[in-house]
Amino acid sequence: MNNTALITGASNGIGLELAILHASKGGNLVLVARNKYKLDELKATLQNEYKVDVYTIGKDLSVVDSAQEVYDEIKSNNIQIDYLINNAGFGDFGMFSETDWNKEAQMIHLNITTLTQFTKLYVHDMLLRGSGKIMNVASTAAFQPGPTMAVYCATKAYVLSFTEAISNEIVGSGITATALCPGATESGFQTAAAMEKSELFNGKKIPTSKSVAAYGYAAMLNGKTIAIHGILNNIMSRAVGFLPRALVLKTSREILGKVK
């Protein structure tokens, strides 16, 4: 295997574990994150251990047109991307009336616009070749509104809907699109979202980034459109469609917990 995967948000959490997994299978990598120092440390480790080629790009993907800049740099280095993994994203926790707009604007741009732009750029290349795989990291938060995480849940609902739609459009083309929907996961997410003491994470045993990455990677290779990690997450996410919306909203608020 020498397929090259572009992984965004690869410096920690699920993105880092996806990079390790892909390299362990002999795949080359293009890794993108804000912290180039951490990416270069990872690059050295992966190249030494797995003898693969790793190219790193330090880029803040919440900035307008950053996806185009990354795409252009990769093209200028004659690197073909076989797997596009849009993993970069972050959330925020708090009442919408009190949260910071600048952070939310960056979140919307990263979670939605950058992901969509990368997909737009690479789906065209993949269609010309007749091969390729796309994985967009959504969340179980995509299946219902999220009081105290209103903007984050809405962005992930977009990712799920968008990925399902393009998956249908590219049927029979040799390309697949997968929406990975993890629940609460041991990663840097809760710290970035200021959720360490929320009911969703506090004192609970949650899956590791490694287990979520392995599940998502296998689902991508198998061309699965929606990949919900965990039996309970599957049941709860599927059940939402059969419950009254008022009950869904109330339950979602209870699961996310009160703002401390």
Query: Could you write out the DSSP letters of every residue in 119-136?
Result: HHHHHHHHHHHT-EEEEE
Confidence class for position 237, pLDDT limits 50, 70, 90: confident
Give the pLDDT of residue 255: 81
**Position 260 pLDDT exceeds 70:** no
How far does Cα 113 stand from its chain's mean position?
13
Q: What distance in Å separates the CA atoms of residue 52 and residue 36, rounded to the nearest whole number?
A: 18
pLDDT digits (tens, 9 = 90+) for 141-160: 999 989 999 999 999 999 99
Sheet containing 28-33: which strands, arranged edge to edge? Answer: 54-58, 28-33, 4-8, 83-86, 132-137, 175-181, 226-228
Contact 142, 159 (CB under 8 A): yes
Cβ-in-10-Å burial (0-12, 13-18, 19+) of 102 comes to exposed
**Position 243 pLDDT exceeds 70:** no
**Position 214 pLDDT exceeds 70:** yes
Question: Is the model more confident about 230 or about 127?
Answer: 127
Average pLDDT of the chain, as a whole number: 91
Confidence class for position 194, pLDDT limits 50, 70, 90: low
Name the phi and psi angles at 57, rounded to 5. Answer: -135, 120
Average pLDDT over residues 42-52: 98
Average pLDDT over residues 10-31: 98
**Position 119 pLDDT exceeds 60:** yes
Residue 39: how many CA atoms within 13 Å on its side-chain side? Answer: 20
Question: Is the model more confident about 204 or about 96?
Answer: 96
Domain 4-256 fold: Rossmann fold (3.40.50)
Domain spans in the chain, listed from the N-terminal domain onward: 4-256
- By mean pLDDT, which of 218-222, 225-229, 236-240, 251-255 is the weakest? 236-240
pTM here is: 0.88
